């Protein structure tokens, strides 16, 4: 595979490249091959393991914070109404072009 970001090239990535893809790894956005290579790398590399653990903790904190303050019902209603209004207008814009 000639793609430097492809799964076959993952094995040759330096630590910085592994850490750079940390969020993709944590979000499950990598190919199974790339994920397996990164998991293997993390078992052997303390520096990368700590960096990924830090990113995991940050994501967990952000998720908790997002759940602590749900949008008030009035705001949800206004957003829903605005989206519905925008959806009603969208087909007319497309016809006018």
- pLDDT for 37-54, tens place per residue? 899 999 989 999 999 999
Burial class (CB in 10 A: 0-12, 13-18, 19+), 65: exposed
Q: How many domains does the chain have?
A: 1
- The answer to whether residue 66 sits within a structural domain is yes
Residue 67 belongs to some domain of the structure: yes
Does residue 86 sit within a domain? Answer: no
Tell me, yes or no, whether 93 lies in a domain. no
The pTM for the full model equals 0.57
Give the structural domain span for 58. Answer: 7-71
In a domain, 92, yes or no: no
* Residue 68 burial (CB count, 10 A): 7
pLDDT band at residue 2 using 50, 70 and 90 as cut-offs = very low
Q: What is the mean pLDDT of the chain?
A: 81
Residue 9: the pLDDT is 47
């Amino acid at each position: 595979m000639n793609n430097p970001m492809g799964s076959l090239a993952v094995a040759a990535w330096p630590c910085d490249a592994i850490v750079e893809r940390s969020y993709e790894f944590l979000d499950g956005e990598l190919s199974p091959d790339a994920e397996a290579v990164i998991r293997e790398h993390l078992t052997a590399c303390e520096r990368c393991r700590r960096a990924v653990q830090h990113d995991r903790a940050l994501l967990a904190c952000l998720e908790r914070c997002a759940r602590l303050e749900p949008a008030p019902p009035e705001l949800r209603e206004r957003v829903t109404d605005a989206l519905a209004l925008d959806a009603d207008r969208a087909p007319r814009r497309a016809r006018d072009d």
